[in-house]
Chain A
Amino acid sequence: MKRLLIGTALATSFGAAAFAGSHSNEVKIGVFLGFTGPIESTVAQMGPAAEFAVNEVNESGLLLGGASVSSVRADTTCIDAGAATAAMERLVTSDNVDGVVGGDCSGVTGAALMNVALPNGMVMISPSATSPGLSHMNNEDNGLFFRTAPSDARQGVVMTEILMDRGINSVAVSYTNNDYGKGLADAFQSAYEAAGGTVTLNAPHEDGKADYSAEVAALAAAGGDRLVVAGYVDQGGKGITQAALDTGAFDTFHFPDGMLSAKLLEDFGADLNGSTGQHPSPSVELAANFKSVVGDAFDSTSAFAPESYDAAALIMLAMQAAGSKDPNVYKEHVMNVANAPGEKINAGELAKGLEILANGGEIDYVGATGVELVGPGEAAGTYREVEYVNGEETTAGFR
């Protein structure tokens, strides 16, 4: 029995070596998203979007002189840093991926980056982690981390502009008690106060709790012209909004991206009249182009699906520009392919981009969201300003 086991082990290792040898010209992209957990319904569109870009490149056969590209999925769970770290470890050490699209939620992304990507020198491009804590201003990430979603520090500034333009200079803030909520609330508070506004109270709420009257009572006592709810629409954010409306504590609200969905309107309808919000969103033309490219493969308008496509595309374009699939080499080229100068490359034109790069040209990747990387490698971001009028969600403009 023992001999058989040893024999099997030897055979497997030889097999693995032979496998690796015969596929030296293969590129693997990890798709590291929360396929289970609180945002699994969103990821159901994000995963296919990333894989769509991989397929597009694979079919063109132009990457690194005809390398075949494939993708490997791993689950971040969105909330469990331990499970996410283990999954990332698997991607890097056992699946031997050459780049990672992900993670999705800010907390697990930070954990996977610090514990696995950094020591192993792996590039991560996140489509949806928005916490300002992930902006590595002093190169703590060795230049390995990028994101195609804008940081919430930027969202805080956009929120401030929207509120200030409407003459609202005193608000109360209730945020969901996690990396996303706290990051956004703090970013907003500093931007708002710098612009001369007053935050009467900046207090957290826990998700999934039985009763929110205590939180709303404190917010109401603090007062303010509007209540900013930096939470989740299917979690505590809804409970807070409901309780605030019921007690008459606040009549109008401001909703950041976590709250904006069709569900919000379904739940509150005309009670939202006069309220505002914003979420990252590509311009109308880019969205229409992306929709025509993907067809029915997945829902192209779903949150962060375009960002996922762009994240995967950027990894492969950077490889092409570097002429190497080594993360420590191609990480230097991510910013170059994403930004001007160069030929503009839209979604669905990845083959054209690869060809230009192969011939030594330069490209400016536009993609599905109008990618423009700033600062330490994060999207500048376009936000859609939302206003509720007569029980309808209307677009007040783009910022």
Chain B
Amino acid sequence: MELLNAFIVLANFVLVPAIAYGSQLALGALGVTLVYGVLRFSNFAHGDTMAFGTMVVILLTWWMQSIGISIAPLPTALLALPLGIAVTAALLIATDRTVYKFYRTQKSPPVIFLIVSLGVMFVMNGLVRFIIGVDDQRFSDGERFIISAREFKKMTGLSEGLAIKTTQGITVITAIVVVAVLFWFLNKTRTGKSMRAFSDNEDLALLSGINPERVVFYTWLIVAALATIAGTLYGLDKSFKPFVYFQLLLPIFAAAIVGGLGSPLGAIAGGFIIAFSEVMITYAWKKVFGYILPEALAPDGLVQLLATEYKFAVSFVILVIVLLFKPTGLFKGKAL
């Protein structure tokens, strides 16, 4: 019983939140890593692409709610996702045609692309704020909890509760589905294979007759889907605020780099490593030890390795260590 209580405390405050947060980061990092792998630059505009996609989904959700469409108990936003992805894809492809294509034909070095993406980031940043404003927006509806802490306690008779939000469940399931589809697409379809070939060696791919514009087009399409899904899931789970999405860029890049930029598998691993390190290293183990250890040994203090204000330092220390000892990241991405 005591062991079970200890596990529930750990699950409620560490495992469940970290898995949900990790899935959101992994989806974001996948988008960054794809752009890096295929188009060969670090896309700083990714955080704001997520914000733009989410904004479109929010506007559609509000419209659907106003005319009474719902798929309760699931949030309406899921229904608005496909259209949101389409609009975001249109924006990304238009950006590519007007901005990135110019530098691609010039064969500009990656660092120019990076700065260009910074410019695109500010434009999208402004666009989102202009349309929906800077404030916090809520758009989640439907059932809030799969199981709430109070119900769990009543059901099991344990003294500790476990809460799983609907959005956390949806996040994890969607992430698994998206990743599975993405890997199937990259490994089994003709377009996916040509993307991988293009990523491996651009000149060889061109020689074997792969149309580069087609590869670029599909890459932006997938990036739009990943960004919109990641942004919407994050917004459902927490809330939508453009500034926070801009700040999300940091942990997303940390995740992509730890895993190895350009490696899809690495992006997923990186997402979870960053999420778990943020939550676990700063976790106060007092309650868990209180259950596991005999009463005499139960700790008085918080048994906290590091105070929570250092949680960002933790993920960046991991980033530095990985870059020092394995500059290509854990999963052999491209060296920076």
- Point out residues on A near B: beta carbons under 8 Å: 177, 201, 203-206, 208-211, 213-218, 220-223, 234, 238-239, 242-243, 246-249, 263, 267
Q: Which of B13, B288, B307 contacts A247 (CB 8 A)?
A: B13
When A and B form their complex, which 6 residue pairs have the shortest distance between CB atoms, in order from nearest?
A248-B149, A213-B17, A221-B284, A217-B13, A218-B284, A248-B161
A217 to B287, CA, bound (A): 10
Q: Which of B12, B307, B311 contacts A248 (CB 8 A)?
A: B12
Question: Taking the complex as formed, is B243 at the interface, i.e. its CB lies under 8 A from any CB of chain A?
Answer: yes
Write the nearest CB–CB distance from A265 to chain B, whole angstroms. Answer: 13
Question: Taking the complex as formed, is B247 at the interface, i.e. its CB lies under 8 A from any CB of chain A?
Answer: yes
Question: Taking the complex as formed, is B159 at the interface, i.e. its CB lies under 8 A from any CB of chain A?
Answer: no
Write the nearest CB–CB distance from B23 to chain A, whole angstroms. Answer: 12
Q: A239 to B308, Cβ gap below 8 A?
A: no
Q: Which of A204, A220, A222, A238 contacts B239 (CB 8 A)?
A: A238
A216 to B241, CA, bound (A): 20
Q: A248 to B302, Cβ gap below 8 A?
A: no
A127 to B12, CA, bound (A): 43
Question: Which residues from chain A contact B257 at a C-beta distance below 8 Å?
Answer: none
Q: B302 to A218, Cβ gap below 8 A?
A: yes
Question: Which residues from chain A contact B17 at a C-beta distance below 8 Å?
Answer: 211, 213, 217, 243, 247
Q: A208 to B244, Cβ gap below 8 A?
A: yes
Q: A221 to B13, Cβ gap below 8 A?
A: yes
Write the nearest CB–CB distance from B25 to chain A, whole angstroms. Answer: 8
Q: B21 to A211, Cβ gap below 8 A?
A: yes
Q: A208 to B238, Cβ gap below 8 A?
A: no
A342 to B284, CA, bound (A): 58
The interface-forming segment of B64-72, B106-114, B178-186, B275-283 is: B275-283
Q: A210 to B279, Cβ gap below 8 A?
A: no
Q: A214 to B282, Cβ gap below 8 A?
A: yes
Interface centre among A209, A221, A239, A263 (most CB of B within 10 A): A221
Task: Find the B residue at minimum CB distance from A203.
Answer: B308
A249-B244 contact, Cβ under 8 Å, with A214-B278, A217-B284: no
CB contacts under 8 Å to A, within B144-203, are: 148-150, 161, 163, 165
Total chain B interface residues with beta-carbon distance under 8 A: 41
Q: A205 to B284, Cβ gap below 8 A?
A: no
Contacts A214-B278, A234-B136 given; 6 further ones with Cβ under 8 A? A201-B302, A214-B283, A217-B17, A217-B282, A249-B13, A267-B138
Q: B302 to A222, Cβ gap below 8 A?
A: yes
A213-B13 contact, Cβ under 8 Å, with A204-B309, A221-B287, A248-B150: yes
Question: Which residues from chain B contact A220 at a C-beta distance below 8 Å?
Answer: 13, 287
A211-B302 contact, Cβ under 8 Å, with A203-B309, A217-B14, A247-B149: no
Question: Which residues from chain B contact A204 at a C-beta distance below 8 Å?
Answer: 308-309
Q: A206 to B309, Cβ gap below 8 A?
A: yes
Question: Which residues from chain A contact B247 at a C-beta distance below 8 Å?
Answer: 208-210
Question: Taking the complex as formed, is B285 at the interface, i.e. its CB lies under 8 A from any CB of chain A?
Answer: yes
A203 to B311, CA, bound (A): 13
A206 to B307, CA, bound (A): 13
Question: Which residues from chain B contact A248 at a C-beta distance below 8 Å?
Answer: 12, 148-150, 161, 163
Write the nearest CB–CB distance from B309 to chain A, whole angstroms. Answer: 5
Q: A208 to B243, Cβ gap below 8 A?
A: yes
Question: Which residues from chain A contact B12 at a C-beta distance below 8 Å?
Answer: 247-248
Q: A246 to B21, Cβ gap below 8 A?
A: no
Write the nearest CB–CB distance from B13 to chain A, whole angstroms. Answer: 4
Write the nearest CB–CB distance from B230 to chain A, whole angstroms. Answer: 12
A215 to B21, CA, bound (A): 14
Question: Which residues from chain A contact B238 at a C-beta distance below 8 Å?
Answer: 210-211, 239, 242
Q: Which of A214, A215, A222, A247 contacts B163 (CB 8 A)?
A: A247
A346 to B134, CA, bound (A): 38
Task: Find the A residue at minimum CB distance from B246.
Answer: A208
Question: Taking the complex as formed, is B91 at the interface, i.e. its CB lies under 8 A from any CB of chain A?
Answer: no
A177 to B311, CA, bound (A): 14
Q: A210 to B309, Cβ gap below 8 A?
A: no
A213-B138 contact, Cβ under 8 Å, with A222-B286, A248-B161: no
Question: Which residues from chain A contact B283 at a C-beta distance below 8 Å?
Answer: 214, 217-218, 221
Task: Find the B residue at minimum CB distance from A267.
Answer: B138
Write the nearest CB–CB distance from B150 to chain A, whole angstroms. Answer: 7
A215 to B248, CA, bound (A): 17
Write the nearest CB–CB distance from A251 to chain B, whole angstroms. Answer: 9
Question: Which residues from chain A contact B241 at a C-beta distance below 8 Å?
Answer: 208
Task: Find the B residue at minimum CB distance from A220.
Answer: B13
Question: Taking the complex as formed, is B18 at the interface, i.e. its CB lies under 8 A from any CB of chain A?
Answer: yes
